[in-house]
C-alpha cells in the first residue's frame, strides 16, 4: 500500500496554510460492506477522533440507503465505507523524484453522444411531468494506467491545484485519487456534538476563456446566467433544508450566494450554507442529514436519485460520495473534532491498472445538449491534462542568426507556463535561444524551444527548406472534437488530436482544414488560416477553437487580417485561401475540391 496523502485547503480561511500530510501504516481499518454497517463505522471513526486519533477515508455514493432506505442506488462494487485510523500524520514527502515520474493513461471511448442526448431528453420529460427540478446525470470513462499511481496523483494536483486533494490506497489494487475542488461539509464539533457546520455546494460551470478578455467574459456570463444561477439556488435550498435536520432552530444561513471561483479549466459557481449543530449531534447524524450532497443528486433528492438509478447503468463508487478526514480539534478543547469532507468529483478510481473517471452535470429544464456536452468536456480536462507528460513548445524561424518574432513567442510561452503552472525563467529561455543562434549563424532554420514541468528549457534546430506555393489544403472529413481543448489554445508536445487529422504522406496535401462541432472553420493542424471572403481577408476568432498563432497576431495588428467567423456554408464563396504561421509566413493556398 502507498502511504496516504492529503492536501486540503482550510475551508474557513482559504489563505491559511494548507493541511498537507502523509500517513503511514494505519493502526486499524474500519470498513462497511453492508448498509447496516455504515453507521457503526462512522460512530467508530468519530470515537477514534475524539480519543485523539486521525481517520482518513470515504463513503461510496451507494452508502446512501444506510441513512434513508428510499434512496435508490445500484449494488455497490466494494466497500460502502472505508476509513484508515492513524496515530498522527507525518510530514509531506520531500522526495520529488516520484512526483516527476511519468504516468500515462490510455483512455477508451466514454458515453456516446447519442446516448447522452437520449438521457437528457428523458430528464426533460421527467421535469415536464413535475417529478423533479434538476437531475445530476453522470457517466464514466475508463482507461489503462502506465506508470506509478503516485506520479499520476502529482500530475492530477498540477492539473487541478487547490481544493481538497487526497490519495488513498485501500489495498488489493484499490486506490482513490481525488483532486476535488468541492467542499461537502466542514464540521467543528464540541464533545457534546454542538458546533458549526459549513457546506459549499458547487453548481454552475463555464469553460475558461482563451485569453484574459474572453476569460473575464465567460466568468461574467456564468455569474449572470439565469440557468446557472437557478441551478445553484435549487441546491442551496435543498441544503438549507437538509441542514435544518441537525441545526439549532434559526441558525441556518447563507452568508455567500452565487460566488464564482476560477479553477484550472473551468469557472465554477459556489454558495456557502452554514448552521450551528444541536447538542447530541453525531457524525452519523451529519451524514444522515446531508448525504449524498444535493449537488450530485438534483432536487428533490429522493426523486432525482430514482431517476439517476434508471438512467445510469451501474454504481458510482467513491465518485459523488464523500472523502475526507476526521481529526481531533484541540483548539476547541479535549474531545472536540473537526471533520472535513470533499464531494469526490474530479476523482479517479483505480483497480489495479484500470482507471475510472466520471463526469456529470446538473440538468435543468432549459439545459441544451450541446452546451452540456461541452461542459462535460471542460470538466474532463483535468484528467486529460494529467494523462501524459508534455512540454510547452514554441516553433520559431531562425534566419541568419536571428529569431523572427522572438518577443511574441517568448510572451506566448510565458502565458502558457502560467496557465499550466510550469515554472518559467525568462533568462533561461533567452540563453537557450541565443545558444542555438550562435550555433547556426547563417541560413534558414526551424527552432523548437521546449519547457518541461520542472521549468527546464531546451532548444533544437532543424534545416528549413522553402515551401512551394500555392499549398494544397484538404477539408477535414469530420468535425475536430478537440476545438475547445486547452491543448489547442496552448502549444505543447501533446499533439495526438492534430495527428489524427494529418494528411496522408505522398498525398500532395500540405495540411488539413479543421472545423468545430458547430460547423465553424478553425485552423489547420499546424497553422492558422486566412480566407478572402466578400472582398475582405478574415481569420477565425479564438472563440472558434484554435491556437492564436504569432504570425496571425502580427497580421491582425498590422490590419492585413480581420477576425470573422467562417462557416462551412461560406466555404464555396471563398475567393482565395492562405496558410499563416510565424515559421513560414503567408503561404497562398487552394482548397482541394
Catalytic residues: 182, 203
Radius of gyration, alpha carbons of the chain: 26
Residue 97: is it exposed, middle or buried by C-beta count within 10 angstroms (0-12/13-18/19+)? exposed
From the list 293, 265, 140, 131, the residue with the least C-alpha distance to 203 is 293
Q: How many angstroms separate the first and last alpha carbons of the chain? A: 59
Q: Which DSSP symbol is given to 11?
A: T
Cell of 66: 444506510
> Which ranges of 225-357 would DSSP assign to H, the alpha helix?
226-243, 283-290, 301-311
Residue carrying the nine cell digits 506509478? 148
Q: From the centroid of its chain, how far is CA 79?
A: 26
Residue carrying the nine cell digits 449572470? 224
> CB within 8 A of 393, min separation 6: which ones?
448, 449, 450, 491, 492, 493
From the list 378, 369, 365, the residue with the least C-alpha distance to 230 is 365
Q: Do residues 541 and 489 lie in contact, with contact meaning Cβ atoms separated by under 8 Å?
A: no
From the list 547, 484, 418, the residue with the least C-alpha distance to 207 is 484
The half-sphere exposure of 442 on its side-chain side, counting CA atoms within 13 A, is: 0
Q: Do residues 320 and 314 lie in contact, with contact meaning Cβ atoms separated by under 8 Å?
A: no
Residue carrying the nine cell digits 464540521? 187
For the chain, count helices (H), then strands (E): 13, 32
d(CA 536, CA 2): 61
Q: Which DSSP symbol is given to 65?
A: G
Q: Do residues 163 and 338 lie in contact, with contact meaning Cβ atoms separated by under 8 Å?
A: no
For residue 167, the SS3 value is: strand
> CB within 8 A of 309, min separation 6: which ones?
72, 73, 74
Q: Which DSSP symbol is given to 247?
A: B
CA 347 vs CA 40, 57, 276, 350, 535: distances in Å? 26, 14, 30, 10, 51
Residue carrying the nine cell digits 470533499? 342
d(CA 528, CA 335): 64
d(CA 304, CA 133): 8
d(CA 261, CA 426): 29
Cis (ω within 30 of 0) for the bond into 292? yes
Q: Do residues 243 and 290 lie in contact, with contact meaning Cβ atoms separated by under 8 Å?
A: yes
Q: Do residues 333 and 121 lie in contact, with contact meaning Cβ atoms separated by under 8 Å?
A: no
d(CA 223, CA 226): 9
Q: Do residues 434 and 464 lie in contact, with contact meaning Cβ atoms separated by under 8 Å?
A: no
The half-sphere exposure of 202 on its side-chain side, counting CA atoms within 13 A, is: 25
Amino acid at each position: 500500500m502507498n502511504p496516504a496523502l492529503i492536501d486540503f485547503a482550510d475551508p474557513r480561511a482559504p489563505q491559511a496554510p494548507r493541511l498537507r500530510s502523509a500517513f503511514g501504516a494505519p493502526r486499524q481499518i474500519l470498513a462497511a460492506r453492508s448498509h447496516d454497517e455504515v453507521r457503526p463505522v462512522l460512530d467508530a471513526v468519530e470515537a477514534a477522533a475524539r480519543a485523539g486519533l486521525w481517520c482518513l477515508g470515504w463513503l461510496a455514493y451507494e452508502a446512501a440507503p444506510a441513512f434513508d432506505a428510499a434512496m435508490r442506488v445500484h449494488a455497490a462494487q466494494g466497500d460502502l465505507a472505508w476509513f484508515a485510523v492513524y496515530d498522527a500524520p507525518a510530514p509531506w514527502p520531500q522526495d520529488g523524484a516520484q512526483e516527476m515520474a511519468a504516468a500515462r493513461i490510455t483512455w477508451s471511448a466514454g458515453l456516446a453522444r447519442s446516448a447522452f442526448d437520449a438521457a437528457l431528453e428523458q430528464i426533460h420529460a421527467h421535469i415536464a411531468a413535475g417529478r423533479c427540478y434538476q437531475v445530476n446525470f453522470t457517466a464514466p470513462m475508463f482507461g489503462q494506467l502506465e506508470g506509478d499511481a503516485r506520479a499520476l496523483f502529482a500530475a492530477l494536483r498540477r492539473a487541478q491545484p487547490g481544493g481538497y486533494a487526497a490519495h488513498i490506497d485501500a489495498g488489493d489494487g484499490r486506490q482513490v485519487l481525488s483532486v476535488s475542488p468541492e467542499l461537502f461539509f466542514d464540521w467543528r464539533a464540541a464533545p457534546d456534538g454542538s458546533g458549526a457546520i459549513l457546506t459549499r455546494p458547487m453548481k454552475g460551470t463555464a469553460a475558461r476563456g482563451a485569453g484574459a478578455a474572453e476569460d473575464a467574459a465567460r466568468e461574467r456570463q456564468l455569474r449572470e446566467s439565469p440557468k446557472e444561477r437557478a441551478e445553484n439556488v435549487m441546491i442551496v435550498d435543498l441544503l438549507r433544508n437538509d441542514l435544518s435536520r441537525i441545526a439549532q432552530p434559526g441558525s441556518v444561513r447563507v452568508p455567500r450566494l452565487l460566488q464564482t471561483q476560477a479553477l484550472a479549466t473551468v469557472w465554477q459557481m459556489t454558495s456557502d450554507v452554514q448552521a450551528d449543530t444541536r447538542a447530541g449531534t453525531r457524525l452519523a447524524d451529519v451524514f444522515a442529514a446531508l448525504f449524498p450532497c444535493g449537488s450530485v443528486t438534483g432536487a428533490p433528492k429522493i426523486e432525482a436519485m430514482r431517476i439517476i438509478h434508471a438512467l445510469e447503468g451501474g454504481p458510482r463508487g467513491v465518485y459523488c460520495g464523500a472523502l475526507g478526514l476526521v481529526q481531533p480539534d484541540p483548539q476547541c478543547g479535549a474531545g472536540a473534532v473537526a471533520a472535513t469532507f470533499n464531494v469526490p468529483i474530479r476523482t479517479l478510481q483505480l483497480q489495479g491498472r484500470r482507471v475510472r473517471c466520471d463526469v456529470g452535470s446538473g440538468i435543468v429544464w432549459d439545459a441544451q445538449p450541446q452546451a452540456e456536452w461541452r461542459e462535460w468536456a471542460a470538466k474532463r480536462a483535468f484528467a486529460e491534462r494529467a494523462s501524459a507528460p508534455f512540454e510547452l513548445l514554441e516553433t520559431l524561424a531562425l534566419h541568419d542568426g536571428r529569431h523572427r518574432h522572438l518577443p511574441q513567442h517568448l510572451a506566448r510561452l510565458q502565458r502558457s507556463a502560467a496557465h499550466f503552472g510550469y515554472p518559467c525563467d525568462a533568462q533561461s529561455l533567452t540563453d537557450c535561444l541565443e545558444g542555438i543562434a550562435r550555433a547556426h549563424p547563417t541560413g534558414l532554420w526551424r527552432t523548437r524551444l521546449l519547457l518541461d514541468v520542472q521549468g527546464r528549457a531546451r532548444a533544437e534546430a532543424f534545416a528549413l527548406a522553402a515551401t512551394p506555393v500555392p499549398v494544397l489544403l484538404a477539408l477535414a472529413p469530420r468535425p475536430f472534437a478537440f476545438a475547445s481543448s486547452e491543448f489547442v489554445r496552448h502549444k505543447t508536445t501533446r499533439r495526438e488530436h492534430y495527428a489524427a487529422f494529418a494528411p496522408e504522406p505522398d498525398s500532395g496535401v500540405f495540411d488539413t482544414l479543421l472545423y468545430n462541432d458547430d460547423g465553424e472553420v478553425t485552423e489547420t493542424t499546424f497553422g492558422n488560416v486566412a480566407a478572402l471572403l466578400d472582398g475582405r481577408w478574415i481569420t477565425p476568432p479564438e472563440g472558434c477553437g484554435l491556437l492564436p498563432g504569432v504570425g496571425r497576431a502580427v497580421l491582425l495588428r498590422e490590419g492585413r487580417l480581420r477576425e470573422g467567423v467562417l462557416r462551412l456554408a461560406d466555404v464555396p464563396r471563398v475567393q482565395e485561401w492562405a496558410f499563416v504561421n510565424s515559421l513560414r509566413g503567408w503561404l497562398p493556398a487552394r482548397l482541394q475540391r
